[in-house]
Amino acid sequence: MISRSLCRRAGAAVSWNSRATMPLASKIQNPAFRAQMATTATNGATIKELPGDEAEDVLFDTLYGLRTIELNRPKKLNSLNGSMVRKIVPRMQEWTKSDMANIILLKGAGEKAMCAGGDVAELAKWNSEGPEGQQRSTDYFGLEYKLDHMIATYKKPLVALMDGITMGGGVGLSIHTPLRIATERTVFAMPETTIGFFPDVGASFFLPKMNGAVGTYLALTSDRLKGANVFYAGIATHYIHSTSLPSLEARLAELRFNDYDTLETRLSLIDSTLEEFTTGLPHDEPIQIAGAMREAIDRCFSPNSVPEIIAALEAETGETQEWAQKTLKTLHQRSPTSVYVTLRQMRLGKTWSIKETFQREHQIAAKFMRHPDFTEGVSALLIRKPEPGQPRVPPKWQPASLEDIKASDNVAEPFFEVEGEKKLGLLSEEDYTSYPHAKFSLPTESQVAQYVRRELKSRKSIVKGFVQARSGKQGIKEVVEEILGKYRINPGTLHEDLPIQLGSYRHSLISPGGPSQLYSIAVRCGECYGSLVALAKDGSEAAVSREVAGRFPLDPDSDEGFAMVSTWFNECIEKHPHTCRLPGNLTGTEVAEFPTRLVDVGTDGDLRIRLIDSRGMTGQYAALSHRWSLNPTEHFKTTRLLLDQRKAGIDIDAMPLNFQDAVKVTRKLGIQYLWIDSLCIVQDDTNDWECESAAMGQVYNHSSVTIRAAPESSRTSSKQYTGGFLCRPTGATDSPTVEIPYRKRNGELAGSWFMQPDKGATSSKIH
């Protein structure tokens, strides 16, 4: 890749700096300088410099094909204001028309910050002047969001150097660029709830797309990520030491593109160039949001109401209890209104397009400018100085605490009322529902999960596959290994080449092809290796103690089998409110929003089901996890041509047997709706597929139960299945079983437990 970069370097091209002194004639003739003179031009837009704007708060440099935007308020940590926006927008508009501008680089002056956020102290002063000042603050946010939307939809390569503090408004300038560089000095946070505001600048779009409930956690708590962890979390696309940045800028300036190169081609070349400057990840900086903490975040921040989140944190025990107590203290220090609004924002924002995101956030910001918490929060934390030797007086929020807010108060909803006549007019109509250049980021959990479900592979093969697919990109190995480890796949595995299966669902129905691998022990003996599954009889001491998780399988298509499943399901709802809770609270007053489409399974005896548009609906639904057939002609799916037909009705007998069984299970559990990816996502609609697949993790997470179906095409030849996952294979024989005495922890004998070969996981036959 180095040679590829070198072959596109400029020969004897001359570089110049826009701050250098040049003869007037040279300035006028130089196209780049004409762009500099056009700072006040608007190209039909309304953004231009105003009298009184600060001089040189933004510096623009040119080096060969590289155009640099440098925020230049280092004493204020490069905090963003209207004067800076009014300089940046016209310049970027000019560069879109210039063939000489190849790459645009965003950075901050000094070593402390790229941009610590917006200049909120100034906004708080305006708000204190009354409605006129509040409108002035609202207008500033409109200006800022127009710039953010321009960056998010820009048609030339953008690179952001997130070197130093990058928070709030600084995140808006960087997070929407295709290529984002973190260094050892990077500090990321969305600190808005600390000042009585909400995570804006497009946070509604990018935070819900983070793995699991991490985005919600960062939004509500304002927790910080530093250095390599900004990269691990997917916020940055690259991690490079700050000492390499000057050389990197020089290399970027030398890159040349063909006129016919697409934006994707240009970004790919820049991506490979950035990789040349990586020098390894710090060994003393492990992944911060990982392991038990990550699992606790998903448990505690997946609910859809603040009281549930508080209850889940209070219920944490063991190694995450200290973290949970600290997090509870943090939440109680935040603006209660901000916490409620932000949680609602995280749930609604995942369905917004990038254009809708900035328009909706502008209206939310306007309402916060009229709410007392913003001015109070900024004044208490940034403006009012404490007496010498005295601690800072905390903000006086209205309402004062989370406990003061009742469900009937409906605190958040007014912030999301759409005022059509006040919709923000953006600088372009460009729009999308998922980032178009996400491939330059590290793999997400949903991407790893989809890869694993396509084919049974070993852990080593999965990691190797991702590393090869991303051309050896730094960080791929570490992140994929962490994702696989999060799912606690094959606890006790002794041989890392054994195939693994991925499962992260709250409830799972185990198909009869063999007990779940989550209960198995991997073993190796000479050339033979495989898995043994531990089983206990219901009601035995081994089962009651929960030390042996496996159970002897019943006939899954029998009344006895369905009764057992219903018992498990109801036990989870009634006895495990924080670990196996249904989406929303258990009183039924608030439940998770439905995916875009669901299958209405009807009732027992109905011969047809139908696809429905379910966005905006709430309640319980089941989700099916299945492996697609290897033969594309056998796929039963929804296409644009078949969409209306699917909504009119689907003959159950025409569906694959696994789908028929999933409908049966859903009905038996008393659930009305079922999500099946191939039916609920329009498979030949690129926009629909990208939007819905990005939300797939949330779909499974919010389902009341996930049904994992053994793939019909994966049955072994010795066990011919005549039906779907509910049917036992014909000719199946009982596995050899070894009975083992069970001893309590005090050594007392108390019955038995059993071990069998795990037929579904064995790779080389073990007897």
3-state secondary structure 266-327: HHHHHHHHHHHCCCCCCCCCCCCCCHHHHHHHHHHHCCCCHHHHHHHHHHCCHHHHHHHHHH
Bridge partners of residue 66, in order along the sequence: 63, 103
- Domain count of the chain? 2
Q: How far is CA 48 from the centre of its chain?
A: 36
Encoding tokens for residue 407?
């469900």
Place of tokens 């508080």: 310
Question: Last residue of a domain, which of 422, 446, 478?
Answer: 422
Q: Is residue 361 part of a domain?
A: yes
Q: Is residue 736 part of a domain?
A: no
109: left (phi over 0), alpha (psi -120 to 50) or beta: beta
pTM score of the predicted model = 0.66
pLDDT at residue 512 is higher than 90:
no
Which residues, 6 or more positions from 628, have their beta carbon under 8 angstroms from its beta carbon?
A: 454, 635, 678, 711
pLDDT of residue 723: 60
pLDDT of residue 38: 34
Q: Is 386 exposed, middle or buried (0-12, 13-18, 19+ CB in 10 A)?
A: exposed
**Per-residue pLDDT reduced to its tens digit, 191-207:** 999 999 999 999 999 99
pLDDT of residue 724: 76
Q: How far is CA 612 from the centre of its chain?
A: 26
**Per-residue pLDDT reduced to its tens digit, 473-510:** 999 999 999 888 765 433 333 234 333 333 322 223 32
Encoding tokens for residue 301?
């921040």
207/192 Cα distance (integer angstroms): 14
Q: What CATH number is attached to the domain comprising 305?
A: 3.90.226.10
353/61 Cα distance (integer angstroms): 33
358/423 Cα distance (integer angstroms): 10
Between the alpha carbon of residue 457 and those of residues 55, 114, 318, the distances in Å are 59, 42, 33
**Per-residue pLDDT reduced to its tens digit, 129-182:** 999 999 999 999 999 999 999 999 999 999 999 999 999 999 999 999 999 999
Identify whether 399 is preceded by a cis peptide bond (ω within 30 of 0): yes
Question: Last residue of a domain, which of 676, 699, 714?
Answer: 714
Q: Is residue 180 part of a domain?
A: yes
What Rg value do the Cα atoms of the chain yield, rounded?
Answer: 29
β-bridge pairing 179-182 and 238-239: parallel
- Domain residues for the domain of 89 are 44-279+288-422
Q: Is residue 464 part of a domain?
A: no
Q: Is residue 577 part of a domain?
A: no
Query: Catalytic site residues?
Result: 118, 169, 192, 200
487/241 Cα distance (integer angstroms): 32
Q: Is residue 484 part of a domain?
A: no
Q: Is residue 466 part of a domain?
A: no
469, 233 Cβ separation under 8 angstroms = no
pLDDT of residue 634: 61
pLDDT at residue 660 is higher than 80:
yes
pLDDT of residue 506: 29
721/734 Cα distance (integer angstroms): 16
How many residues in the chain?
767
β-bridge pairing 457-458 and 499-500: antiparallel
Question: Last residue of a domain, which of 422, 454, 473?
Answer: 422
Bridge partners of residue 550, in order along the sequence: 535
Q: Is residue 193 part of a domain?
A: yes
> Which stretch of 75-79, 227-231, 273-277, 459-463 has the lowest confidence by average pLDDT?
459-463
**Per-residue pLDDT reduced to its tens digit, 320-359:** 999 999 999 999 999 999 999 999 999 999 889 999 999 9
* 638-645: average pLDDT: 92
117: left (phi over 0), alpha (psi -120 to 50) or beta: left
